[in-house]
C-alpha cells in the first residue's frame, strides 16, 4: 500500500529555486488547493495516470474526530487547527457595519470583543467569515448540506459562452459520477450514483469529447439522510408546525410524514418551481462520519494501484510562474512558501512567521483551486488581474483581467429564532419554496427548521439558548446583487485580501422583502405549535412575543444589518468572449494566458443554488473530464 505522502519541509531550500533547475520537482499537473474543487480534481487526474502535485496551505485533520464526525461541525468551525479568519465587510458604510450584532473587535489585551459597544482602544476587525485551511478545505468544517444548483445556474454558462455541454440536463451525470448514494435503493434509479467506484479506463479512448467513453463507475462522496420517523408523531409541536407549513405552501398536510423523506437530489420535472419538503441530505456515511475530498484524496494515495498523486501540506502558494518567451504567457509552475500557519488569516500566525521558498514545475498545467477568496488573490499576486490594482502594489502585469476578484456573490442568510415555553421537539424540517412576491415562478428560499440556533459567525459561535430554542434558518436563493469584491491589501502573499460583499447593493429592496415574506410565512406556521409551546418569545427578526408585533419595514431593516453568509462564489467567473469581466472560458482556462485554469466555487458566474459544496464537486468532475480529454488528444 502506498504510503501517505505529507509535505516534507525542505530546510536546505532557502530562497527561490530557479524554475529551469533540473533539481526542481516536476509534475504533469499542479493543483493549488484541496477543497471541493481542487481535491477531487487532483485525485481524478492522478487516477487517469498523470503525475499530479496537490498543494495545501494547511495540514491534515482527517483523522481528528472534530472533523471526521459530521455532528461536530460547529466545533470544527471554531477549531484553530484549521481556522482561517477572514474579517469581511457587508457594505461600504462603516456605521452600518458596526450595527452587526456580532461585529468583532480586538481588545488591547489581545482578546476579542463581540458586540455593539466596544471598550475604549478596541480595534475593529470586521465580520468573521471562517474558512478551513486544511486538507479537504471547507468541506471539512461545514454542516455537509447537499443540494443541487438550479437549472438556470448551469444554463447561464451556456447563455454566456455558447458551450452546450453546460446545459442543466447534461450536468446531472457529474452528480452520478461523484456520488455514493446511501439513502436510495442501490440501482433503483439511473439518476444517482451508488457503487462508490471511480476510475478512468484507457486514455486511448479519450477522444470522445463528452467523456462517456472513458469515465466509468461512480464517485467518492457518500451522501445520506437522517431519520425522519419523528414526523409520524402527530401530537408533537414540531409536527403541528410541519403540517401548517405544508398548508401554507400548497402541500398535503396529511402526508407530511412521507413528504419529509422526499429526495432533495431527485431528478424531477420543473423541480425549481416546486415548493416542497425534503429529507436533509449530507455528505456523510451511514455512521455519520464526514465524507469529503479528504477521504477521496486519502483513498487515492493509499490505493494499491499507486496512482501518481503527491500531496504537499503546510505549503502556501505565493504565485504562479510564467514563461514569457512567446506572445502569450504560459504557466510553468508555482512558487511556494513552506511552513505552518504562514498565512495571516490563521489565528496561530505570528506576524514575522516566514518559511523558505521553493518552486515546482508543471509540465502541462497549473490549476488554481484556492477558493473564492484565495484564487483571485493568487492570480493577482501572479500578475493576472486589474492592471491598476496590480500596479498599485508594484506587481508586474502579466495579463490585465479586470474581472479577477470582482463579481463576488453569496446567498443571503438569516433566521427566525425564538424560545418556546417548552421544547418543540422533532428533527430537521427541510423545505424549498417560493414566497408570494418572488419575481419569477422559481422557488427562492431554502429553509431548515429545528431545535437549534445559528445566527452567523463570530469567535465561539453559536449561542446556546437552551432546550426551548427553535429556529428556521433561511437561505435566499438567486440573489441579484453580485456587487462585492476581493482585492489585495499588499503584495505580501501572507496578507489576507480586502473582502466586501456589498450586501443589498443592487435590487436590495426586492431581496429584503422576499426574506421578510419568508419569515412571515414561517412565523404564521409556528402558531400551530400548541399551548404547551406558545407564545414564542422571538429573538429576531421581530423581537418579543406574538405573531406580528413589528412591521415589514422594521424586519427589512433588521435583516439588512444582520444578514450573514458563508457561500461565497464567482470572483474568477466563467464568461463569454464579449464580456470584459470574464476571467475564464467555459473550459476553465484563464483568459489571455496558457497552461492555467481555475476550478473551484470562484468559477461560477452565480451562486449555484442554496448550498454550493455539491455543485462545486460536480464542477470539479466536469473539469477533470475536460482536462483529461484535452490531454488525451495531444
DSSP class of 231: G
Inter-CA distances, 462 with 395, 465, 474, Å: 41, 9, 16
Residue 607 annotated as lining a ligand binding site:
no
At 500, list the grid cell. 466586501
Contact 29, 42 (CB under 8 A): yes
- DSSP letter string, 450-468: ES-------TT------TT
Contact 367, 31 (CB under 8 A): yes
Residue with cell 400551530: 528
What is the distance between the alpha carbons of residues 162 and 575, in angstroms, rounded to a whole number? 10
Could you give phi then psi for residue 456, rounded to 5 degrees?
105, -160
User: Which region holds residue 546: left if phi is over 0, alpha if psi is between -120 and 50, else beta?
Assistant: left
Exposure string (b/e) for 539-563, b if CB count within 10 Å is 16 or more?
bbbbeeeeeeeeeeeebbebbbbbb
Residue 144 annotated as lining a ligand binding site:
yes
Contact 567, 478 (CB under 8 A): no
What is the distance between the alpha carbons of residues 285 and 461, in angstroms, rounded to a whole number? 26
What is the distance between the alpha carbons of residues 481 and 581, in angstroms, rounded to a whole number? 16
209 has which bridge partners? none
With 0-12 CB in 10 A as exposed, 13-18 as middle and 19+ as buried, what is 96? middle
Cβ neighbours of residue 216 under 8 Å, at least 6 residues apart? 199, 200, 201
- Cα atoms found within 13 Å of the Cα of residue 614, Cβ hemisphere only: 33
Residue 311 annotated as lining a ligand binding site:
no
With 0-12 CB in 10 A as exposed, 13-18 as middle and 19+ as buried, what is 475? buried
Residue 142 annotated as lining a ligand binding site:
yes
Helix, strand, or coil here: 130?
strand
What is the distance between the alpha carbons of residues 184 and 222, in angstroms, rounded to a whole number? 12
- DSSP letter string, 198-249: EEE--GGGTT-TTSTTTEEE--SEEEEE---GGGG-TTSHHHHHHHHHHHHT
With 0-12 CB in 10 A as exposed, 13-18 as middle and 19+ as buried, what is 440? exposed
- Cα atoms found within 13 Å of the Cα of residue 593, Cβ hemisphere only: 30
With 0-12 CB in 10 A as exposed, 13-18 as middle and 19+ as buried, what is 325? exposed
Residue with cell 483523522: 63
Find the radius of gyration of the CA atoms of the chain: 24
- Binding-site positions read 142-145, 317
- Binding-site positions for FAD read 142-145, 317
Amino acid at each position: 500500500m502506498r504510503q501517505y505522502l505529507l509535505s516534507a519541509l525542505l530546510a536546505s531550500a532557502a530562497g527561490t529555486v530557479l524554475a529551469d533547475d533540473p533539481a526542481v520537482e516536476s509534475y504533469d499537473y499542479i493543483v493549488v488547493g484541496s477543497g471541493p474543487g481542487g481535491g477531487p480534481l487532483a485525485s481524478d487526474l492522478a487516477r487517469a495516470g498523470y503525475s499530479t502535485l496537490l498543494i495545501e496551505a494547511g495540514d491534515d485533520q482527517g483523522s481528528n474526530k472534530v472533523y471526521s464526525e459530521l455532528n461536530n461541525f460547529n466545533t470544527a468551525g471554531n477549531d484553530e487547527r484549521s481556522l482561517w479568519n477572514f474579517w469581511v465587510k457587508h457594505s461600504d458604510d462603516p456605521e452600518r457595519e458596526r450595527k452587526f450584532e456580532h461585529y468583532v473587535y480586538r481588545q488591547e489585551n489581545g482578546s476579542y470583543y463581540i458586540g455593539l459597544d466596544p471598550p475604549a482602544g478596541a480595534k475593529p476587525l470586521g465580520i468573521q467569515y471562517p474558512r478551513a485551511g486544511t486538507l479537504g478545505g471547507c468541506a471539512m468544517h461545514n454542516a455537509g448540506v447537499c443540494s443541487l444548483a438550479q437549472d438556470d445556474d448551469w444554463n447561464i454558462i451556456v447563455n454566456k459562452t455558447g458551450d452546450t455541454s453546460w446545459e442543466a440536463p447534461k450536468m446531472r451525470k457529474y452528480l452520478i459520477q461523484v456520488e455514493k448514494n446511501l439513502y436510495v435503493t442501490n440501482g433503483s434509479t439511473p439518476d444517482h450514483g451508488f457503487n462508490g467506484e471511480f476510475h478512468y479506463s484507457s486514455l486511448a479512448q479519450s477522444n470522445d469529447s463528452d467523456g462517456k467513453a472513458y469515465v466509468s463507475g461512480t464517485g467518492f462522496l457518500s451522501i445520506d439522510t437522517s431519520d425522519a420517523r419523528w414526523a409520524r408523531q402527530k401530537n408533537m409541536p414540531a409536527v403541528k408546525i410541519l403540517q401548517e407549513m405544508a398548508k401554507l405552501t400548497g402541500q398535503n398536510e396529511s402526508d407530511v410524514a412521507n413528504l419529509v423523506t422526499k429526495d432533495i437530489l431527485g431528478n424531477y420535472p420543473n423541480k425549481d418551481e416546486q415548493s416542497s419538503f425534503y429529507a436533509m441530505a449530507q455528505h456523510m456515511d451511514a455512521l455519520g462520519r464526514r465524507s469529503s475530498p479528504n477521504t477521496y484524496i486519502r483513498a487515492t494515495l493509499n490505493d494499491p494501484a499507486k496512482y501518481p498523486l503527491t500531496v504537499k501540506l503546510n505549503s502556501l502558494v505565493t504565485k504562479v510562474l510564467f514563461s514569457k518567451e512567446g506572445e502569450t504567457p504560459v504557466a510553468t509552475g508555482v512558487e511556494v512558501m513552506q511552513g505552518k500557519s504562514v498565512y495571516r488569516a490563521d489565528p496561530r500566525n505570528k506576524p514575522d512567521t516566514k518559511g523558505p521558498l521553493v518552486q515546482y514545475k508543471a509540465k502541462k498545467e497549473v490549476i488554481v483551486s484556492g477558493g473564492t477568496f484565495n484564487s483571485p488573490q493568487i492570480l493577482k499576486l501572479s500578475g493576472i488581474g486589474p492592471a491598476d490594482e496590480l500596479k498599485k502594489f508594484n506587481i508586474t502585469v502579466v495579463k490585465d483581467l479586470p474581472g479577477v476578484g470582482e463579481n463576488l456573490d453569496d446567498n443571503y442568510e438569516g433566521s427566525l429564532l425564538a424560545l418556546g415555553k417548552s421544547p418543540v421537539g422533532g428533527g430537521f424540517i427541510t423545505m424549498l419554496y417560493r414566497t408570494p412576491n418572488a419575481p419569477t415562478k422559481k422557488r427562492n428560499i431554502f429553509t431548515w427548521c429545528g431545535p437549534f440556533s445559528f445566527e452567523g459567525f463570530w469567535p465561539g459561535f453559536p449561542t446556546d439558548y437552551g432546550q426551548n430554542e427553535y429556529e428556521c434558518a433561511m437561505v435566499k436563493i438567486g440573489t441579484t446583487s453580485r456587487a462585492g469584491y476581493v482585492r489585495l491589501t499588499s503584495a505580501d502573499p501572507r496578507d489576507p485580501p480586502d473582502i466586501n460583499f456589498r450586501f443589498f447593493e443592487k435590487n436590495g429592496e426586492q431581496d429584503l422583502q422576499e426574506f421578510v415574506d419568508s419569515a412571515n410565512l414561517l412565523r404564521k406556521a409556528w402558531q400551530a405549535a400548541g399551548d404547551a409551546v406558545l407564545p414564542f418569545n422571538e429573538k429576531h427578526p421581530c423581537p418579543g412575543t406574538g405573531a406580528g408585533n413589528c412591521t415589514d419595514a422594521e424586519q427589512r431593516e433588521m435583516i439588512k444589518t444582520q444578514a450573514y453568509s458563508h457561500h461565497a462564489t464567482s470572483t474568477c467567473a466563467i464568461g463569454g468572449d464579449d464580456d470584459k469581466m470574464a476571467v475564464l472560458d467555459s473550459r476553465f482556462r484563464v483568459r489571455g494566458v496558457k497552461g492555467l485554469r481555475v476550478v473551484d466555487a470562484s468559477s461560477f458566474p452565480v451562486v449555484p443554488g442554496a448550498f454550493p459544496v455539491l455543485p462545486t464537486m460536480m464542477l470539479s468532475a466536469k473539469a477533470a473530464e475536460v482536462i483529461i480529454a484535452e490531454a488525451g488528444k495531444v
